[in-house]
Amino acid sequence: MEYRELGQTGLQVSRLCFGALTMGPLQRGLSPLEGSKVLRRALDLGVNFVDTAELYQTYEHIRLALQGFEGRQTVVVATKSYAFTREGMYESIERALQGLGLESIPIFMLHEQESSHTLRGHWPALEVLWEAKKSGIIQACGISTHHVQGVLAASAIPEIDVISPLINSTGIGIQGGSREQMLQAIAHASALGKGILAMKPLGGGHLLATWSAALDYLLAKADIHSIAVGMKTIEEVEHNIAYFQGRRDVPKPPVTTRLLHVDEWCIGCGACVEACPNGALQVLEGRARVVSREQCVFCGYCGASCPEFAIKVI
Ligand code: SF4
Ligand code: SF4
């Protein structure tokens, strides 16, 4: 497994990062024990970087995978939260420490930032992250974003160490600019010393048919230090690791069709429409509908926002 310095964080991370969203309740719904076995296989094979979020509800899966793992001290867990107040961020950090069973969190990020405007709105939470870093409770702080402006805005803040941007070979899901503009923003951030963790390399599953080309596209980018690939089976783990180790005879993981399902008890409240970062949903005739199938990257954010549990990735 190839490892890279994650910008100027002092953290060494595997080029393949285990994306924990896919195994959790917003997507495949593996139990913590089942999910821990999938992640543990990745750790045993040399992956030392795990990307999660409060929203993903996979802290328990990760805690169990780390339990008794010999290389536990070298595992870099990145998590994120939507907190925007000081109090909210204190609670998020505490939940992560308890949930993950860690004494300190390697990377803590603000989830889904769009621009300098949203960063200003989250400033109290950011200040808590910086204080937590000073006292050793977290080691690095950052943001995740689907937006070109989000990358540029975070680049301008010296205290932000890590940026997790959405980038892939077709540009699916990128907001506020083209794939090239996102790459330029990433290069700018990387030149300033930010660690770059690419997300959605397979466009939430849309690019599975061109799996190897989509991975090669990002692997060739020196500015991208690690690539988060969502994994939910041991087979997928082994295929991805072999590919990242340079084996080009690996067959692509079996393509599993994913759908966004809206149950009939949807009340048409529109919360999911607001939550979708990609404009893929609308309420039509009193019910949520996918209006732009190509823009849906199966992130599951709509499902997490639904008060009726009526929309989910299946
Ligand atoms: S949030 Fe849930 S109930 Fe509201 S429109 Fe979306 S799917 Fe329907
Ligand atoms: S429709 Fe839901 S799963 Fe698809 S991009 Fe929007 S929030 Fe994510």
> How far apart are alpha carbons 59 and 64 in whole angstroms?
9
Q: How far is the CA of 256 from the centre of ligand 1 (A)?
A: 25
**The pLDDT of residue 278:** 86
The bound ligand whose nearest atom lies closest to the alpha carbon of 310 is 1
Mean pLDDT to the nearest integer, 62-88: 96
Indicate if ligand 2 lies below 6 Å from the C-beta of 276: yes
CA gap 51, 224 in Å, rounded: 15
- Cβ(148)–Cβ(175) under 8 Å? yes
Picking from 155, 123, 163, 161, the residue whose alpha carbon sits closest to that of residue 140 is 161
- Look at ligand 1, atom 8, and give the residue with the nearest C-alpha: 266
Q: Candidates 166, 290, 301: which one to mutate for ligand 2, based on the most atoms within 8 Å of Cβ?
A: 301
Task: Categorize the per-residue pLDDT at 216 as very low, low, confident or very high, splitting at 50, 70 and 90.
Answer: very high
Task: List residues bridging with 162 in a β-sheet.
Answer: 142, 195
pTM here is 0.88
CB 224 within 8 A of CB 215: no
pLDDT exceeds cutoff 90 at 50 = yes
Does residue 66 have a pLDDT over 70? yes
Quick: pLDDT tens for 176-200.
999 999 999 999 999 999 999 999 9
pLDDT exceeds cutoff 70 at 205: yes
Using one digit for the tens of pLDDT, what is the confidence trace for 104-121?
999 999 999 999 999 999
Which atom of ligand 1 is the closest one to the Cα of 271?
1
Contact present, 226 and 176 (Cβ < 8 Å): no
pLDDT at position 48 is 98
Looking at the DSSP bridge assignments, the partners of residue 164 are 144
Q: Is the dihedral of CA 172, 24, 224, 84 positive or negative?
A: positive
Residue nearest to atom 1 of ligand 1 (CA): 306
Stretch 221-233: mean pLDDT: 96
**Helices 32-44, 59-66: crossing angle, 10 deg rounding:** 50
CA separation for the pair 243, 106 (Å, rounded): 26
Percent above pLDDT 70 for the chain? 99
Q: Are residues 311 and 261 in contact, defined by beta-carbon separation less than 8 angstroms?
A: yes
Query: The tokens of 293 are what?
Result: 């199938």
Q: Among 10-14, 77-81, 160-164, 274-278, whose mean pLDDT is lowest?
A: 274-278
Q: Name the residue with higher pLDDT: 248 or 50.
A: 50
DSSP code string of 149-181: HHHHHHHT-TT--EEEEB--TT-TT-BSS-HHH
What lies within 8 Å, CB to CB, of 75 at 6+ separation is: 43, 48, 49, 50, 66, 69, 106
Rg (CA), the chain: 18
Instruction: Give me the mean pLDDT over the 18-43 stretch.
Output: 94
Give the separation between CA 64 and CA 58, rounded to whole angstroms: 10
Rounded CA separation 53/77 (Å): 10
Q: State residue 259's pLDDT score.
A: 79
Looking at residue 300, its pLDDT comes to: 82
Please compute the mean of the pLDDT values over residues 16-35 and round it to a whole number. 93
DSSP-derived secondary structure letter, 250: P
The confidence score (pLDDT) of residue 21 equals: 92
246-286, pLDDT tens digit by residue?
998 887 776 666 778 888 889 999 999 999 988 899 999 89
Q: What is the pLDDT of residue 257?
A: 67
256 versus 150: the higher-pLDDT residue is: 150
CA 50 to mean position of chain CA atoms? 9
Per-residue confidence (pLDDT) for residue 208, from 0 to 100: 82
Q: Give the pLDDT band of residue 2 (cuts 50, 70, 90).
A: very high
| Ligand 2 centroid to residue 300 C-alpha, Å | 6
**With bands split at pLDDT 50, 70 and 90, how would you rate the model's confidence at 297?**
confident
Q: Which amino acid is at 276?
A: C
Residue pointed to by tokens 């990242």 = 244
Specify the pLDDT at position 255. 65
Distance, CA of 114 to CA of 147 (rounded, Å): 5
Closest CA to 50 of 25, 23, 84: 23
Average pLDDT for 1-16: 97
Domains, the chain, ordered by start: 3-244 (3.20.20.100), 260-313 (3.30.70.20)
CB distance 205 to ligand 2 below 6 Å:
no
Q: Is 69 helix (H, G, I), strand (E, B) or coil?
A: coil
Chain centroid to CA 19? 6
Q: How many Cβ atoms are within 10 Å of 136's Cβ, its own excluded?
A: 9
DSSP, collapsed to helix, strand or coil, labels residue 147 as strand
Mean pLDDT, all residues of the chain: 93
